[in-house]
Amino acid sequence: MYKGTLMFKKKTRQTSESVNSISELDQQEQKDHNTTKLYPETVSIEIFKNIKQLCINLSQIALAPEGIFSSLQLVNALKSLDKSLIDTAKNYSREKDGYTHTLIITTNLADYIFIPVASLLKRKDLKDAELEYILSIIHFLLKYCWGSPGYLKKELSVQFLPLLTYLIAGSPVKNDNKPIVEKSGKTVNNGILALKELFIGISNQGSKFKDEFFSDSRNLPPLGHLITVLLEISLNSNELDVQLNSLDTLKILYSTFNDSEFLSYIFPGNVSIISRIINSRSTSKKIHYKVVVKCFEILTILTKTIFNDFELNTQLKNDKSEIENLNDLLLKAEKLTEDNDRESRDDDGSESHISNANEKLEVFIPEAQSNTQGINPRDTRWLEETVKNLRKAFKSILKVDIERKEIKSSLLEFCYSVLKYNFQTLLSLIPDIVNAIGQTIDLNLLTDDALPEDDENNNTIVNLVLLNVSEKHMKIFDLIVSRCFRSWLDDLSPSLLSSDAKMPIKLMNKLKTNWLNWFNQIIPIILKHIAKLVQLITNL
pLDDT in the model for residue 73: 95
- Count other Cβ atoms within 10 Å, centred on residue 97: 5
Is the distance from CB of 186 to CB of 134 less than 8 angstroms? no
- 3-state DSSP assignment of residue 101: strand
- Amino acid occupying residue 70: S
Q: Cα-flanking dihedrals φ and ψ of residue 239, to 5°?
A: -105, 125
pLDDT in the model for residue 352: 34
- Count other Cβ atoms within 10 Å, centred on residue 182: 13
Could you read off the pLDDT of 32-42 as tens digits, one per residue? 433 333 378 88
- Integer Cα distance of 269 and 271 in angstroms: 6
- Count other Cβ atoms within 10 Å, centred on residue 285: 10
Distances (CA, A) of 306 to 225, 259, 355, 421: 20, 8, 32, 10
- Integer Cα distance of 189 and 183 in angstroms: 10
pLDDT in the model for residue 440: 73
Q: Which residues contact 204 (CB under 8 A, 6 or more apart)?
A: 147, 148, 149, 152
pLDDT in the model for residue 83: 97
- Integer Cα distance of 102 and 105 in angstroms: 10
Q: Cα-flanking dihedrals φ and ψ of residue 19, to 5°?
A: -60, -45
Is the distance from CB of 161 to CB of 224 less than 8 angstroms? no
- What are the sequence ranges of the domains in the chain? 6-259+290-298, 260-289+299-343+376-440
Could you read off the pLDDT of 485-536 as tens digits, one per residue? 544 555 555 555 556 666 666 655 555 544 444 444 344 444 444 444 444 4
Could you read off the pLDDT of 259-309 as tens digits, one per residue? 899 999 999 999 999 999 988 765 556 788 899 999 999 999 999 999 998
pLDDT in the model for residue 95: 62
Q: Three-state secondary structure along 488-517?
A: HHHHHHHHHCCCCCHHHHHHHHHHHHHHHC
Q: Which residues contact 517 (CB under 8 A, 6 or more apart)?
A: none
Q: Using the predicted structure, report yes or no on whether residue 132 has a pLDDT greater than 70.
A: yes
**Secondary structure element (H or E) that encloses residue 157, with its range:** helix 154-169
* Range in 118-127, 310-319, 512-521 with the lowest mean pLDDT: 512-521
Tell me the average pLDDT of the chain. Answer: 74
* Range in 120-134, 364-378, 406-420 with the lowest mean pLDDT: 364-378
Give the whole-number percent of the chain exceeding pLDDT 70. Answer: 60
Could you read off the pLDDT of 79-88 as tens digits, one per residue? 999 999 999 9
Sign of CA dihedral 238, 242, 244, 248: negative
Tell me the pLDDT band of 336, cut-offs 50, 70 and 90.
low
- Integer Cα distance of 222 and 4 in angstroms: 13
3-state helix, strand, coil in the chain (%, to 5): 70, 0, 25
Q: How many residues does the chain have?
A: 540
Q: Using the predicted structure, report yes or no on whether residue 386 has a pLDDT greater than 70.
A: yes
**182 vs 369, higher pLDDT:** 182
pLDDT in the model for residue 378: 78
- Amino acid occupying residue 246: S
Is the distance from CB of 380 to CB of 365 less than 8 angstroms? yes
Which alpha helices (DSSP H) does 32-153 contain, by range? Answer: 39-62, 71-92, 107-120, 128-141
Is the distance from CB of 169 to CB of 143 less than 8 angstroms? no
Q: Using the predicted structure, report yes or no on whether residue 131 has a pLDDT greater than 80.
A: yes
In order, the DSSP letters of 408-440 are HHHHHHHHHHHHHHSTTTTGGGHHHHHHHHHHH
Q: Using the predicted structure, report yes or no on whether residue 63 has a pLDDT greater than 60.
A: yes
pLDDT in the model for residue 370: 47
- 3-state DSSP assignment of residue 362: strand
Q: Is 174 exposed, middle or buried (0-12, 13-18, 19+ CB in 10 A)?
A: middle
Is the distance from CB of 442 to CB of 481 less than 8 angstroms? no
pLDDT in the model for residue 491: 52
**317 vs 379, higher pLDDT:** 379
Could you read off the pLDDT of 188-243 as tens digits, one per residue? 999 999 999 999 999 999 999 999 999 999 999 999 999 999 999 999 898 999 99
pLDDT in the model for residue 380: 86
**475 vs 178, higher pLDDT:** 178
DSSP state of 466: I
Is the distance from CB of 418 to CB of 333 less than 8 angstroms? no
Is the distance from CB of 124 to CB of 1 less than 8 angstroms? yes
Could you read off the pLDDT of 234-268 as tens digits, one per residue? 998 989 999 999 999 999 999 999 889 999 999 99
Task: Please identify, in words, the CATH class of the domain defined by 6-259+290-298.
Answer: mainly alpha
Could you read off the pLDDT of 47-61 as tens digits, one per residue? 999 999 999 999 999
pLDDT in the model for residue 473: 46
Could you read off the pLDDT of 422-461 as tens digits, one per residue? 888 898 888 788 778 767 764 444 333 333 344 444 444 4
- Integer Cα distance of 321 and 316 in angstroms: 12
Q: Which residues contact 429 (CB under 8 A, 6 or more apart)?
A: 337, 387, 390, 391, 394, 418, 422
- Integer Cα distance of 49 and 33 in angstroms: 13
